Chains A and B, each alone.
Chain A
Amino acid sequence: MLVRYIAKRLGLGILQLIGLVIGVFFIIRLLPADPVARLVGMNASPQAYAQAAHQLGLDRPLLTQLAIYLGFEPSVQPGLLQGSLGASWVTDSLVMSEIAQYLPVTITLVTLSFLLVLIVAVPIGMLGALNPGGRTDKGVFIYSLFAGSQPEFWWGLLFVYIFFFRLGIAPAPLGSLSPMTDPPAPITGFLLIDSLLEGQWSVFVEALDHLMLPVVTLAFVLSGPIIKMVRQNMLRALRSDFVLYADCVGLPRDIIARYALRAAMAPSMTLIGILYGFMLGGAVLVENVFSLGGIGQYAVRAVLAFDYPVIQGVVLVITAISLLVYLALDLFHAAIDPRIIV
């Protein structure tokens, strides 16, 4: 049953991706500018323009371009069917290898932030819900309002000012490692993992140190809505019949809280999963403030430069990850509530 469910979901996911690839291919070509202009900056003669358009393959008919991108013309250049996302029009590097460079940075940042949020937000949200209207609850309300009400880049800049510039306890916002440190040779692309695999303990510690402030910034901003949501869901669960019943039959409070948490987690996890997928592209402001070369920055630069292969590649990869996260969430749901699969 479960295997069939997963297979069905994956099949559906692939269909969604195919639709998306074709959709994005046409939509970005509706953007109000021509990517060739950027290339010929110094030299806009018609001949040079034609030459640049030819180099990018933009002089071919649109459907031919699509066929090449999808990989139906491997003699021209490898496409999606051959596992290639093409080369960036700005850097001439393979989009696949650039994504492999940028994506791990964002995944690390976002995953650590969500872990921190879960560690902090779930107990706080629960506490608030267990004593609605109490002092803790009011404190939680004010905190979540405060944390969620300012944009993350503002908090990031403020944290940089306080913890790096004023107090000197955080490292300079110069990326994942100090500029003078040699990064470990990429194995997985994840700095934290690679440094451990290669036994470079000091690099691992340095990377964690550099991640501290961005993770705290992102977690701080994300914790606002998540605490509120956990609190709401928990409150609803606490008022549900089965909890009232459990209370009436005299079950201990901690067991009741556990029951309620289980019921409250399902909807909370859905939102957290959606937020996670969203943050893969949406952490760009935090990446920017801390000079972390992540996928969000990469995507924004691609859009500003009208770098079609990169835009297409990033959308495809992020969507694929989001689909996998949703699938994992559904499986998690199913584990809590097996009725879902039927």
Chain B
Amino acid sequence: MERSTTPLTGIKPGGHQLRGEVVVQHQRRRILDATVELVAESGYRALTVGAIIKRAGVAKLKFYELFSSKADAFLAALDEAIDGVGERVSAACEAAGDSLPERLDAGLGAALGFCAERPELTRAVVLEAPALGPEAAGRGEAAVAAFAPLFEGKIGPRRTRRPPPGWEEGVLDGLYWLLYEAVLSGRPKRLGKLRPAMVEFALLPLLGPGATASA
């Protein structure tokens, strides 16, 4: 660590302010990455601030300038993941137009793609976020909102049937469980194969025999 830094910015006196912000952003990034790696490796409960700063190569003081606790750091990584997947899902759904099956296919493909690109983040978030317990309050709603664009399409001109009550919530829970199982199995390649099954799972309640008969 540098010797003559000010406690607040970690930048040498007289250093350019912009550069200071860049450095802080960089340190924040390193802390978040280290947190995710460590959680993916050995779980949230085993996580310590000491391990984070060691892995990230930042001073303890610096850590506490940016985060109040290990939970705070993991929550920041969690929020970033939810935002990241939400942006991808939303962009893919928008590009897919307003057909529900196409939105589901594109949006779920985007979500699974995000997970496949970042296996550590996925493992950390999917398997270990629940360990945050009540501290993760509100993140469930944020995650649901991130996937909302999936359901904003039309079923099709001939099938105007309204979905059963609680359909979106139930489908999303089911989809998330399938993702959870795949991540738990520790075989990330499974994720890619999930896409068609997920799309069909979401559509089954709408395209089932009753729907076709009375649409």
Q: Do A and B make up one complex?
A: no
Binding site for B on A (CB under 8 A): none
